[in-house]
Each structure stands twice: as C-alpha cells, then as structure tokens.
Amino acid sequence: MNVARNFLLIGVLYLLVGLLIGMYMGGSGDRAMTAAHAHMNLVGFTLMVVFALSYRLFPTMAEGGLAKAHFWLHQFGALVMSVGLVLITGGILPEESVGPIMPVGEIAVVIGVALFGWNALKNAG
C-alpha cells in the first residue's frame, strides 16, 4: 500500500466535502455545521496531507507496519468523527444518540497520531 498517496487522495475527498459544507454555511447564513466543516477540513484534509508529505519526505517511515496501522486508525477515526459531526451539527440525529460513539473515533485518531510520532522518532531523518 502507498500510504502517502492514499492519505493525499482521501484528504482531497474530505476537502471537497468540507468546502461544500462551508459554501452551504456561507450561502445560507446557518453556522450550525461549523464544527463538522472545521474538522473535515482539518482532521480530514490538513492532517492527511501533512501525513502524506511526511511519509514522502521520510520514505523509511512509510515502509513498516506502523504506517499502515496509523493509516487505518486515522481513516476509521476521521470517518467516525466526520459522519458523527455531520449528523449532530446538521440536526439529523440527536447528540445524545451519536455523542457516545464519538470518543471511539477520537481515540483512534489519537492512537494513530501516537504511532505516527513513534514512527517519526525511529525513522524520520
């Protein structure tokens, strides 16, 4: 698996959706989905592109199982967070029903970032 390329391409998908939500908010004046917009753009696009560039800059980081584990943890976490935030801030489902699931995604992102940091410590530079 080409971790850098996959992070880059999936990041752009998040950006497209994040931008569309931003345009909707700008056009309608309804700012309720700000958290969904911000995190799809930041946890989705910005972080994934930073990860893609890091794995490209330090190819040794991209080779082992740590990179794969980070990739899948971030994909899972970003998806849970993004879908959850859209459902909550879009008023599609009540916060009480979706809220308890959010930490599962958040913890996946955090563990992924910890693995990324460990990988950088061992293999960057």
Residues that bind ligand HEM (CB under 6 A): 19, 22-23, 25-26, 31, 34-35, 37-39, 41-43, 45-47, 106, 109-110
The smaller minimum CB distance to ligand HEM, of residues 63 and 79, is found at: 79
How many separate helices (H) and strands (E) can be counted in the chain? 7, 0
Nearest approach, Cβ of residue 9 and ligand HEM (Å): 17
The smaller minimum CB distance to ligand HEM, of residues 14 and 55, is found at: 14
Nearest approach, Cβ of residue 102 and ligand HEM (Å): 7
Cα atoms in the Cβ-side hemisphere of radius 13 Å centred on 107: 5
Distance (Å, rounded) from C-alpha 104 to C-alpha 75? 12
Classify residue 91 as left (phi > 0), alpha (psi -120 to 50) or beta. Answer: left
Torsion of CA 55, 65, 101, 31, to 10 degrees: 10
The smaller minimum CB distance to ligand HEM, of residues 63 and 106, is found at: 106
The smaller minimum CB distance to ligand HEM, of residues 41 and 119, is found at: 41
